[in-house]
Structure 1
Amino acid sequence: MLLANQVTNAQFFTHDVGFHAGTATIQTDYGVRNNYLSSYGNSAVSLSFTHTLHFFNKDPRWNADHKIWSYLALRSELNIITNANFQHHGRFVNENTDLGRQLKAMTGIANITNVGFQLEYYMRCLKDFIYPWSDIRWNPYVLAGLQYTMFSNSLNSTLGDWEQDITVLPNKWRTPGALDVGKGTTFAATFGAGIRYKFNPKIDFNLQFNWQFFFSDAVDGLQANVIENKNNEWLLNLQFGVIYHLNFDRPLSIFNR
C-alpha cells in the first residue's frame, strides 16, 4: 500500500515559476521597412512572469525517461513591454527637406502586454536535468507559442499637434485610415530558443531569445496604405531569468525508498 501511494504521488506534474527581464527591439513603420538596423532605437524594457508545467513524471517507470513528454514543457507567460520609443531613422530623415523635417519631428510610444503559452522542447531529458542526482547543468531548448496582445500607442510631433494640424505629418499618414492611434488587441506568434543552467537543486538561470510576429499592423499606430508600411510589426526579445522549482521533491520519494 505504501508503494502504491508513492507511485500515485510520482504521477503529479512538476511546476516552476520564474521572473525574466531584458530588452525588446521592435520593427515598425518607423524607420526603413526591411532594414532592421534602422530600428535600433525602437527598443524597450521587457519583463515576464512565467509558470512552467513539466510532464517527465507523467509515467513513473524508468523506461519512460526517453518518451517525448520527458523533453517537453508548457510555459504560460505574462509579458510586459513598457515604453517602447519609436522614431524615424535612415537617409530620408537626414535630408534637408520638408519630408526630412517631418520625419525627424515624429515620435511614438507603445506599451504592450502579452498573455499566452509556449511549448518548449529540450535537448536533454528534463528528469535528468531537474532532479538533483544528475550532473547535467545545461539544457538548451527551442520554443513556439501563441500570445494574446493588448497594446496602447501614442503619436507626437515637435512641429505641432497633429490632431489639430495634420500637415505636420508626412503625406502618407494624412489620409483617412492611415493612423490607428490608441488602444487595440491582436494575436502574436513566437518562435525562439533558450538555455537553462541548473544553479542548485531548486533554482535555474535561463537565457532566452525569441521572435514575436504580431497579426496586426496597428501596434505602432501607423498603417498607411503604401508598400513600405504594409507589413505587420514584429520584435526580437532577449531576456535573462531566474526559475524556481516548486514541487519536484514530491515525486522524488519513489526513488529514495
Structure 2
Amino acid sequence: MRKFLASIAFMLLAYQGANSQFFTHDIGFHAGTATIQTDYGIRNNFLSSYGNSAISLSFTHTLHFFNKDPRWNADHKIWSYLALRSELNIITNGNFQHHGRFVNENTQLGMQLRAMTGTTNITSVGFQLEYYLRCLKDFVYPWSDIKWNPYILGGLQYSMFSNTLNSTLGDWRQDINVLPAKWRTPGALDVGKGTTFAATFGAGIRYKFNPKIDFNLQFNWQFFFSDAVDGLQANVVENKDNEWLLNLQFGVIYHLNFDKPLSIFKR
C-alpha cells in the first residue's frame, strides 16, 4: 500500500509539472451499464447477481508519461506504457428487487420479498493507473500504424451514495413488520446517504479512430469497502459480503496536445 501511495504521489507531482515537461493529456466520456451485487436476492442466483443493473457514466482525464523529448522517452521507457486516469463516475437509476426461489413461494416471506424494493445512486471520484501492452508514444502519435492497444488497470476511488428502501405493504419506518425478519433487528438497515472507499480492477482496449480521437471499450470490477451501499447490512451469513459491481462502458477519448508530432519523430 505504501508503494502504491508513493507512486500516486509521484504521478500527481508529475501532473503539476506537466506544462514544463510537455506530458500529454486526453479527456474522455464513457457510458454503459453496471450490474450491482447487493443483499437483495439469494446467493448463486443469476438474477440476484446480474439482474439489478444501473446506468453508468464517466468523465475522465488521462495523463500520459511520455513527452516530446526523445532523450527523456529513451531514458524512461517504462513510463511510455503507463497512464494515470482521474475519473468522475456516476452510477444512477440503480433499482433493486429480490430474485430467487423464496420470492415465488406463497408464504408471508415471499409476499414481503416481492413487496420490497430499493434504489441507489453512487458518485465516485478517484484515480486509476493504466498499463498498456503497447507503447503509448508509438500508439498515440499520428505517424504510427498501430490501431489497437489493450490495457489493464487498478485504482482507488472515494464513493458517495444515496439509497432508498420501499415496500408496497406499507411504510417500513412506521411498521417494521412489513419487512422480512432479518431486516427488523437493530443495525440491519442503513438507509440514506453515506460514503466509502472502493478499489477498482479491470481491463480495456483502445482503438485509434483518427489522430485526435480514440474509441475505448472497458470492463472493470469495483469493490466497495462497505456493506451499506444498498441500505441493507443484516448480520447474517447470506448477506455477509460488501457490495460490488461490474461496469461495462464504451467511450470516446479526445487527444488534447499531441496531434502534431515534431519533425524529429518523423521516420
Aligned partner of 1:42 among 52, 60, 74: 52
C-alpha displacement of 1:249: 3.9
1:29-58 CA-partner distances (Å, limit 9, x unpaired): 001135454233210000000000001228
TM-score by length of 2: 0.89
What is the distance in 1 between the residues matched to 2:72 and 2:34? 41
* Residue 130, structure 1, aligned to residue 118, structure 2: no
Partner AA of 2:166 in structure 1? N
Cα pair distance change 1:188/1:36, threshold 3 Å: farther
Deviation of residue 64 (structure 1)? Answer: 1.6
Q: Match for 1:157 among 164, 167, 171?
A: 167
State the SS of the aligned residue for 2:111: helix
Q: State the alpha-carbon separation in 1 of the partners of residues 255 and 241 from structure 2.
A: 40
Q: Percent identity?
A: 90
Higher RCO (C-alpha 8 Å, min separation 6): 1
Q: Deviations over 1:78-131 (max 9, x none)?
A: 000001000000001011111011011100000000000100000000011000
Per the alignment, residue 234 of structure 2 pairs with 224
Matches within 5 A, 1:206-221: 206-221=216-231
How many residue pairs get aligned? The number is 249
**SS of residue paired to 1:127:** helix
Tell me how far apart the structure 2 counterparts of residues 59 and 128 of structure 1 sit (CA, whole Å): 14
RMSD (Å) for aligned C-alpha atoms: 2.0
Ranges in structure 2 where 5+ consecutive residues have no aligned partner? 1-18
Q: Give the alignment partner of residue 66 of structure 2, picking from 56, 66, 70.
A: 56
Task: Indicate conservation of the 8 Å contact 2:212/2:259, yes or no.
Answer: no
Could you tell me which residue of structure 2 aligns to residue 105 of structure 1? 115
In the alignment, the residues of structure 2 paired with residue 63 and residue 215 of structure 1 have an alpha-carbon distance, to the nearest angstrom, of 38
Which residue of the partner structure matches residue 234 of structure 1?
Answer: 244
Residue 227 of structure 2 contacts residue 243 of structure 2 at CA under 8 Å; is this kept in 1? yes
Maintained 8 Å contact 1:205/1:243? yes
Q: Matched residue of 1:64: which SS?
A: helix
Match in the other structure for 2:8 = none
Q: Which runs of 5+ in 1 are unaligned?
A: 1-8
Report the TM-score when normalising by structure 1. 0.92
Aligned to 1:14: 24
Q: Is the 8 A contact 2:68 2:262 kept in 1?
A: no
Contact 1:10/1:57 (8 A) holds in 2: no
In the TM superposition, what whole-angstrom CA distance separates every residue of 1:3-33 from its partner, at most 9, and x where no partner exists? xxxxxx8941000000000000000000113
- Report whether the alignment pairs 1:244 with 2:254: yes
1:148 aligns with 2:158: yes
C-alpha separation in 2, matches of 1:80 and 1:235: 13
Query: Which one-letter code corresponds to 1:171 in the other structure?
Result: A
- Whether the 8 Å contact between 2:45 and 2:99 is mirrored in structure 1 is no
Instruction: Check 1:58–1:143 CA distance in 2 against 1; reply closer, same or farther (3 A cut).
Output: farther
AA aligned to 2:104 is N
Moved over 4 A (4+): none
Query: Who is 2:88 aligned against?
Result: 78
Q: 2: distance between equivalents of 1:118 and 1:213?
A: 14
**For 1:179-216, what per-residue CA distance to the aligned partner results, in whole angstroms no more than 9, with x for missing partners?**
00000000000000000000000000000000000000
Report the CA distance between 1:248 and its aligned residue: 1.1
1:32 aligned onto 2:42: yes
